[in-house]
Amino acid sequence: MNQKAKICQNCKTEFLIEPDDFAFYVKLKVPPPTWCPQCRMQRRLTWRNERTLYKATCGLCKKAIFSVYAPDLSFTQYCVDCWNSDIWDATSYGADYDWELPFFEQWKRLCTRVPWRNLSHTNAMYSPFGGNMLRDVNRVYLSYSIIESEDVHYSKDVDKSKMIFDSFDIVSSENAYENILGYKNYNCSFIVSSRNCIDSAFLFDCSNCRHCFLSTNLRNKEFYIRNKPYTKDKYFFELKKLSVGSYAATEGIKKEFFERKEAALYRYANLINCVSSSGDDLINSKQARDSFSGHDLEDVRYTFRALVMKDSMDASYVGMNTLTYEAQGAGVADSTLIRFNVHGAHGGNGQDFQYTAFCGYASHLFGCIGIRNKQYCILNKQYSKEEYESLVPKIIEHMHVKPYVDRKGRSYAYGEFFPSELSPFAYNETVTQEYFSLNKPEAEENGYRWRDPEERHYKISKTARALPDRIDDVDDSILGEVIGCAHEGTCNDQCTTAFKIVPQEFQFYKKTNLPLPRLCPNCRHYQRLKQRNPLKLWHRQCMCDPSAGSGQVMKYANTSKHFHGTHRCPNEFETSYAPDRKEIVYCEQCYQAEIV
């Protein structure tokens, strides 16, 4: 089939469906989408709440728990232990299909009957205050989307790492503080888009560096400050003069670092060991197109935070699957044919799921919640193989004939992801607010729910301004203080207005000579988010232009290295750097010619 232009049902802009996309839809037996890729991702993320937690009570064992679901929602929730147990059976809540109601109305009713899991924890050891979306972890504290890691605090999207504090989107790293988009770094702080660096701080786009500070675009360097080489003794002498243990001095260094970072040379995309791929922040991937923040991918498109996946499209926070489409949180090992999934899954070995939540060790499910060790279920009712295979095509046809229509008049036939208005979460509780930020009037105008923050009445015992400048002047009495966030709840960053320092965190600051933070964990998280690019690509031309003279930021080391000579580079690419941004963005050839 040829390329086809369509108008997005949601934002009314035109988008293209490529021939390869049509082939994928045929393979999975789903119709082409009616929403554009950006709107599809935004819709999926409205079903993922990571950071907004509430106090609740398990509906089974009655113990006090934390939950991602607000207390005014009308459904039962179980703690992770009870939910994973054999005490209850999800098929006991099964229902016959009602041909008088749209499918999504029936799924909504099922949601109110079947217990939901309070948090998404799988093998989370010694992590009673771990946060959410944890798998195979030890000693995690208030962190989110953490996989195969240990000793992680106040961080998000961390894989295969250890002793991580206040970091975002890092892989295979250790002893990290304020690392953003990092890979295989050790004992580093305040570094962005850097890899294989050791004992360094305030680096941007550096690789294979050791003992480097306040520098950009370095390769295979040691003992550098401000991109200038030093002897070993001189390096440590100059570093001591910078007073990095002082909060005031560190804030000044941060300001200089951001200025240097802005003036650095930018590669069009952060792709490490990738072939025929487009997007940003991808590692070890092949033919991963229009994708962001993933590793070990092959033949995927429109993915975000996808790990070890193959032959899939439109997946967010998904891992270890093949043939997956329109899924949010479907990390089920060795699973295939996962279509229209929310809230992750339980266990593994899932096959042929459609419109499911929290299902695992199962196969051939349609419109189910919490099903385990079963097959051929529809709306949690089990059928024979013959009954199931006869009924599912009729339901799909019914979804086309009698689609669900939301408050904004958007139609949801078979092939559409779950409507956002059926999500248990308000827009500003979800991950979508982090990447597609709206204020309350904008959210409500677009048909999303909004939840005003709860009033907090913390007894603040020490303001941020009253904290000592240096960590050397802080003793363990700080562990008993309730510290007021410097933002005082005036920002749009889900500010908690107050926070505490926990023992392991305090020991880390002491050991690494880092000053105490002045912002609450949520505000710190949003400060890190501002340093990553949007989940969107623009078509641009390489900005390398030797004829630009003094107007060009980069100083050419050797113009003969550039294949285009004295003329502007003709190469074009897809990049997450918008055309109106200040950065100097180069194609791969020009970037490699300059970075030495």
Please report the pLDDT score of residue 153 as a whole number: 98
CA distance 357 to 141: 26
- 415-470 residue pLDDT tens: 999 999 999 999 999 999 999 999 999 999 999 999 988 888 899 999 999 999 99
Please indicate, yes or no, whether residues 257 and 345 belong to a single structural domain of this protein: no
The structure tokens listed for 463 are 């303001």
Is 489 found in the same domain as 574?
no
Can you give the pLDDT at residue 596?
A: 67
Looking at the structure, tell me whether residues 472 and 401 fall in a common domain.
no
Q: Is the pLDDT of residue 559 over 80?
A: no
Give the pTM.
Answer: 0.93
Sign of CA dihedral 397, 401, 402, 408: positive
At residue 129 the predicted structure's pLDDT band, cuts being 50, 70 and 90, is very high
Q: b/e for 156-192, b at 16 or more Cβ within 10 A?
A: bbbbbbbbbbbbbbbbbbbbbbbbbbbbbbbbbbbbb
Does 409 fall in a domain? yes
pLDDT at 330 exceeding the cut of 90: no
Asked, for residue 198, whether it belongs to a domain, the answer is yes
What average pLDDT score do residues 253-271 get? 95
Residue type, 563: F
100 part of a folded domain: yes
Q: How many helices (H) and strands (E) does the chain have?
A: 12, 37
- Residue ranges of alpha helices (H) inside 178-246 are 232-241
pLDDT in tens, 540-549: 999 998 877 6
Q: What's residue 555's pLDDT?
A: 47
Q: Is the pLDDT of residue 376 over 80?
A: yes
The pLDDT assigned to 244 comes to: 83
Domain end, chosen from 522, 550, 567, is at 522
What confidence tier does 493 reach under pLDDT thresholds 50, 70, 90? confident
Query: Tens digit of pLDDT for each residue in 47-76?
Result: 999 989 999 999 999 999 999 999 999 889
User: Which of 34-38, 307-311, 347-351, 530-534 tops mean pLDDT?
Assistant: 34-38
- According to DSSP, the β-strands at 228-229 and 222-225 are antiparallel
Domains in the chain: how many in total? 4
Reported as a pLDDT band with limits 50, 70 and 90, residue 249 is very high
| pLDDT tens, residue by residue, 405-419 | 999 999 999 999 999
Domain extent for 435 = 1-51+89-112+320-441
542 and 504 assigned to the same domain: no
For residue 365, being part of any structural domain is answered with yes
Partners of 372 in beta bridges: 360
One domain, residues 325 and 421: yes
Residues 362, 471, single domain; the answer is no
For residue 553, the model assigns a pLDDT of 44
The pLDDT of residue 332 is 59
Phi-psi region of 577 (alpha: psi -120 to 50; beta: other; left: phi over 0): beta
Instruction: Give the per-residue pLDDT at 348.
Output: 64
The 10s digit of each residue's pLDDT in 184-232 is 999 999 999 999 999 999 999 999 999 999 999 999 999 999 999 999 9
Question: Is residue 345 included in any domain, yes or no?
Answer: yes
If asked whether residues 371 and 431 sit together in one domain, one would say: yes
Q: Are residues 325 and 415 in the same domain?
A: yes
Is there a domain that residue 302 lies in?
Answer: no
pLDDT tier at 551, thresholds 50, 70, 90: very low
Q: Point out the domain boundary residue: 412, 441, 470.
A: 441
Q: Which of 236, 252, 267 is the last residue of a domain?
A: 267
Both 515 and 564 in one domain: the answer is no
pLDDT at position 524 is 97
346, 424: one domain:
yes
pLDDT digits (tens, 9 = 90+) for 291-318: 999 999 999 999 999 999 999 999 999 9
Q: Which residues pair with 532 in a beta bridge?
A: none
pLDDT at res. 550 = 47
Based on the fold, state whether residues 479 and 514 are members of the same structural domain. yes
Question: Could you read off the pLDDT of 169-195 as tens digits, one per residue?
Answer: 999 999 999 999 999 999 999 999 999
In a domain, 488, yes or no: yes
User: To the nearest whole number, what is the mean pLDDT of the chain?
Assistant: 93
Characterise 518 by phi-psi region: left (phi > 0), alpha (psi -120 to 50), beta (else): alpha
> How many C-alpha atoms does 12 have within 13 Å on its Cβ side?
3
120 lies in some domain: no
| Same domain, residue pair 243 and 324 | no
Residue 554, pLDDT > 60, answer no
Q: What is the pLDDT of residues 275-285, one digit of tens each?
A: 999 999 999 99
